[in-house]
Amino acid sequence: MSEVIDPALVREVAERVERVQARILAACERAERDPAELTLVGACKRQPLERIAAAVCAGVTSLGENYVQEARAKQNALADLLARHCAPDTAPNPEWRLIGHLQRNKARHAVTLFCAVDSVDRPELARELDKRAGAAGTRIDLCLQVNLSGEASKSGTREADLPELLAACEGLEHVRVIGLMTMPAPSADPEVGRGTFARLRALRDTLSREPGGAGLTALNMGMSGDFEVAIEEGATLVRIGSALFGERPARETE
């Protein structure tokens, strides 16, 4: 392996990954859960490519991106960087998930860039993803995003509209609804989100017994500040950004 990425950065990020993985294991032990049920998703919005590559080299196998255009810019560049840093035939190949709001007109790009869209919040988007996945000859997993905090600034379907959204996905041939996603209201206290996480789990359990709900197993919830509480409440996917990569660089101004 050549040292294309700064060795000090590789060590720093590897230590971050190790600390997060230890916290995940501890949360699983408290909840008497199997750690194999958990997927750590590296939320890499606006993160430098070298930091993302260092996390992948440290064992992060799933990356989450908020924007289609940012994923398009990163994916080939990341693959090239990893191939140069590692032997080409041993370079890791992470999966990519879309974890941010998706505009319908970008669905045709999303189905070729991501293995999953975790933020589906309206029937027309699900149908568009199904149509575009069919045209691309692929199949994509979906999580349905639920706005349980009631914040106007957040995407997500209302809880009352979730059964209708799930029903609209039934019968689609090229997408598969695997679970639900939510974000609690922001708070410095991770315990504040516990009720929201428990509500999402209860929704999943209820809907999994309804027509079209048999495939609902995933709970995509928990971020850097509250992922341990989310795991205790049943999360299967946790989206970790700053705890893995450090704080995002400030957006450049013109």
Q: Are 211 and 167 in contact (CB under 8 A)?
A: yes
Q: How much is the pLDDT for 2?
A: 54
Q: What is the mean pLDDT of residues 213-220?
A: 94
Q: Is the pLDDT of residue 86 over 70?
A: yes
| Domain 104-236 fold | TIM Barrel (3.20.20)
pTM of the model: 0.93
The confidence band for 153, taking pLDDT boundaries of 50, 70 and 90, is: confident
Beta strands in 26-81 (DSSP E): 39-43, 62-65
Domain boundaries, the chain: 1-99, 104-236
Tens digits of residue pLDDT in 155-192? 899 999 999 999 999 989 999 999 999 999 989 999 99
Top CATH class of 1-99 equals alpha beta
Q: What is the mean pLDDT of residues 197-205?
A: 97
Euclidean distance between CA atoms 248 and 238, whole angstroms: 18
Q: What is the mean pLDDT of residues 11-22?
A: 97
Tens digits of residue pLDDT in 97-141? 999 999 999 999 999 999 999 999 999 999 999 999 999 999 999
- Residues written for the chain: 254
- Tell me whether residue 171 is exposed, middle or buried, using C-beta atoms within 10 angstroms of its C-beta: 0 to 12, 13 to 18, 19 or more: exposed
Element (H, E) at 28: helix 7-31
Euclidean distance between CA atoms 168 and 125, whole angstroms: 10
Q: Is the pLDDT of residue 249 over 80?
A: no
**Fold: same for 1-99 and 104-236:** yes
Q: Is the pLDDT of residue 1 over 50?
A: no
